[in-house]
Amino acid sequence: MSMREAAMARLIRCAAIVGLSIILMNCPSTPKKPLDTVAAPAFTPAEGTFASSQSVTLATSTDGASIRYTTDGTAPTATTGMAYSGAIAVPATTTIRAIATKTGWNDSPVVSATFTITGKVADIQFDPAAGSFDTATSVALSSATAGAQIYFTTDGSDPTTANGTLYAGPISVSTTQMIKAVGVKQSWESSEITSAAYTIAGAGTVTNPNGEPVTDVEVADARNALARAKEVDADFFDPDNYDAARSALDEGISLRISDPATARQRLDTAREKADLAFTNSVQRAAQDMAAAMDAVKQRLLTLEADKFLPEDYQKSTAGIDEATALFADNKYADARARGYQALKEMTDLANTLEGRLAGVRTLKSDTEQLMKQIEDSDLYTYAPGQKDKVTTLYVNGVNAFQGYKLDDAEENFGAAREAARDTIRIATDARDTTQAAEKQKAEALQIQVMKALQDASTLTVVTEDGTVIKPQNWKDEDFLKEIDQMMEEQQKNSPQSMLIPADQSTAVMADESSPNLLQQARDLWGQGLQEKAAGNYGKAQDYFNESLRYIEIYKSYAVKGVYAVRLIPDRRDCLWRIAEYAEIYGDPYKWPTIWRRNRKLIQNPDLIFPGWQLVIPPN
């Protein structure tokens, strides 16, 4: 291998190493698209307490997903648990845990719901049982259902939570009467109404000079009135009347034997205060519950739930009117239970809608940022077909969101974001492919220009003003050294396009002075090297092509030699004969070539003088 071939091989290796380094520095690996997550299963009905067995259905909004569940407390997975195929029967209190899966997707989170099955309150038991008694007796009421409350009447009417008296202790029976009783418990079915008749043949009394003694029934009535007030939280809502009723009751009991008349007054006061506390507390509770429900309703309206999810909104707010009606009927326990249920339903809806709205806004923001990135990087140039797709999906999402079509907004913004991500990937691949081709062209031109510079450096040139430039004979080593110096400078300084000065001023190449055209061509070649190293392959090609143009102009001034016009008597020199000489062109018709090159000296091509030195251009 010759020295020239070895130098050329070394140059090609250097160019390859430079190109590979630039690729490694500027082309990070494309991250893989994250997997989607399957939507978690939803339970119908929602978890809660029920008086009878339930039939529970599971569903996921992800098409093609399957569901597995367990009822033994263990967590289901994609391969464990029972495969869901239809409604699940829940005859007793049960916790269901479920997961949704789909091939190629992330599994949903495990969700659970507890269904508490209560039942019916056990019938009320009377002790002693119904019958005839010689004297007054006390009747105790009980239910086998723990936590059940008992309401009773002694006037023959059917007892309810509004009509009956809340049982607080044994009932004194001093006259013949019928006791009816019912058992109630929140979220349970009330017991059957049971009754017992008591016949009193004669009642023993304690005489007192101050009047008839206060009976147990009178005391029980006052106690029951206070208990009824306590049931509606009168000690919290109306403590003044409640405390007054309790004090009056204590005084009445203490005076029932010694001063029955005053005792009856105090017991009457206790009942009146207790009834007033009951009425005030129900009103206060109704007002507080109404305020709480209205606050959550306003939150839903602020979120525009009535427009985004009108059916769910109507269903969740229906409990407001229902609770209000129950309060108006003095059905405090039922009203409070319905009110709390309505609060939970509205709060759950508000939380769900807030989460979905936040998700839609995140999708919209992500899409807008990706679209801006595409525009700023001019990536649509490399993937023009994607622009309409991304824009259409985004506009559809905006229109759906403004039209309160939440499902459509989620779908279109999600698709727009994925389309934008696809656009970046497709365009980046296309751009990298284009840059690779441009880099190959730049490298080929770099080598072509270097060879042309070497060839031109071997020529003798005479400029128009007569300046003679002798051959410079540039070698491969000269160019390799220049490349090495350029790479060192490139590492020290950040890349700066030679076409755009660092101070942003306008570059005018004609302002640069050079010893000759060949040196200018070499400078342009060096500038092309810097642009190529900076990854500006198009600009590098411009510099290399401009360098070639300068080289061609330089070569046009190259001379084959100098001919001195001779005086030959029998055959005088003229341009025709000079061109005809074998050592010149061997062709007399090429005389204009000599004339054009020596126009400043030869004014008339038919008239030349002995001794003139004529520049002979290359053939």
Cα separation, 438 vs 544, whole angstroms: 13
pLDDT-based confidence at residue 486 (cuts at 50, 70, 90):
low
Q: How many CB atoms lie within 10 A of CB 47?
A: 15
Do 590 and 609 belong together in one domain?
yes
DSSP string, 497-566: -TTS-TT-PPP-GGG---SSHHHHHHHHHHHHHHHHHTT-HHHHHHHHHHHHHHHHHHHHTB-SEEEE--
Residue range 276-287, pLDDT digits in tens: 999 898 889 889
Q: Give the pLDDT score at 31.
A: 47
How many structural domains are present in the chain? 3
Do 112 and 229 belong together in one domain?
no
Q: Mean pLDDT across the stretch 553-558? A: 82
Q: Mean pLDDT across the stretch 384-399? A: 93
Percent of the chain with pLDDT over 70: 86
Do 110 and 131 belong together in one domain?
no
Q: Say which residues have a Cβ less than 8 Å from residue 264's Cβ, sequence separation at least 6.
A: 214, 218, 252
Cα separation, 397 vs 363, whole angstroms: 10
Q: Give pTM, 2 decimals.
A: 0.44
Cα separation, 242 vs 232, whole angstroms: 11
Give the rounded distance of the alpha carbon of 291 from its chain centre.
Answer: 34
Q: Is 180 exposed, middle or buried (0-12, 13-18, 19+ CB in 10 A)?
A: buried
Q: Say which residues have a Cβ less than 8 Å from residue 280's Cβ, sequence separation at least 6.
A: 234, 237, 238, 241
Torsion of CA 478, 479, 485, 491, to 10 degrees: -170
Torsion of CA 271, 275, 277, 280, to 10 degrees: -160
Does the residue 469 lie in any domain? Answer: no
Domain boundary among 50, 84, 117: 117
pLDDT at 502 over 60: no
Cα separation, 371 vs 380, whole angstroms: 10
Q: Mean pLDDT across the stretch 65-74? A: 93
Cα separation, 349 vs 352, whole angstroms: 5
Q: Give the pLDDT score at 569.
A: 83
Q: Give the pLDDT score at 508.
A: 33
Question: 163 versus 357: which is more confidently predicted?
Answer: 357
Q: Give the pLDDT score at 206.
A: 38
Do 194 and 247 belong together in one domain?
yes
Residue range 419-456, pLDDT digits in tens: 999 999 998 988 888 888 888 988 999 999 989 988 88
Residue range 217-246, pLDDT digits in tens: 889 999 999 998 998 899 999 999 999 999
Do 173 and 237 belong together in one domain?
yes
Neighbour order of strands in the sheet with 125-127: 125-127, 137-142, 171-173
Domain that holds residue 607: 561-616
- 598: domain CATH number? 3.10.350.10
Amino acid at site 434? T
Domain boundary among 117, 147, 179: 117
Q: Mean pLDDT across the stretch 553-563? A: 80
Residue position matching structure tokens 């020239």:
4
Q: Is 529 exposed, middle or buried (0-12, 13-18, 19+ CB in 10 A)?
A: buried
Mean pLDDT, the chain, integer: 84
Cα separation, 187 vs 118, whole angstroms: 7
Q: Mean pLDDT across the stretch 158-182? A: 85
Domain boundary among 59, 92, 117: 117
Do 77 and 189 belong together in one domain?
no
Does the residue 135 lie in any domain? Answer: yes
Cα separation, 69 vs 77, whole angstroms: 8
Does the residue 572 lie in any domain? Answer: yes
Give the Cα-Cα-Cα angle 454, 15, 548 (nearest 5 degrees): 35
Does the residue 280 lie in any domain? Answer: no
Does the residue 30 lie in any domain? Answer: no
Does the residue 599 lie in any domain? Answer: yes
Give the Cα-Cα-Cα angle 263, 268, 271 (nearest 5 degrees): 125
Residue range 576-595, pLDDT digits in tens: 999 999 988 899 999 998 88
- 105: domain CATH number? 2.60.40
Amino acid at site 383? A
Half-sphere exposure (Cβ direction) of 514: Cα atoms closer than 13 Å: 14
Which tokens go with 350? Answer: 């508000």
Do 80 and 209 belong together in one domain?
no
Do 152 and 109 belong together in one domain?
no
Q: Mean pLDDT across the stretch 467-491? A: 70
Do 54 and 146 belong together in one domain?
no
Q: How far is CA 104 from CA 126, 230, 270, in A?
A: 66, 60, 72
Q: Give the pLDDT score at 118.
A: 82
Do 112 and 136 belong together in one domain?
no
Helices (H) and strands (E) in the chain, counts: 15, 20
Q: Give the pLDDT score at 504.
A: 36
For residue 254, the surrounding DSSP H or E stretch is: helix 239-255
Cα separation, 409 vs 367, whole angstroms: 12
Does the residue 586 lie in any domain? Answer: yes
Q: Using the 8-state DSSP alphabet, how is residue 379 labeled?
A: G
Residues in the chain: 619
Which tokens go with 40? Answer: 């978690």
Do 107 and 223 belong together in one domain?
no
Do 111 and 145 belong together in one domain?
no
Does the residue 432 lie in any domain? Answer: no
For residue 221, the surrounding DSSP H or E stretch is: helix 216-231
SS (H, E, C) 101-150: ECCCCECCCCEEEEEEECCECCCCEEECCCEEECCCEEEEEECCCCCCEE
Half-sphere exposure (Cβ direction) of 60: Cα atoms closer than 13 Å: 25
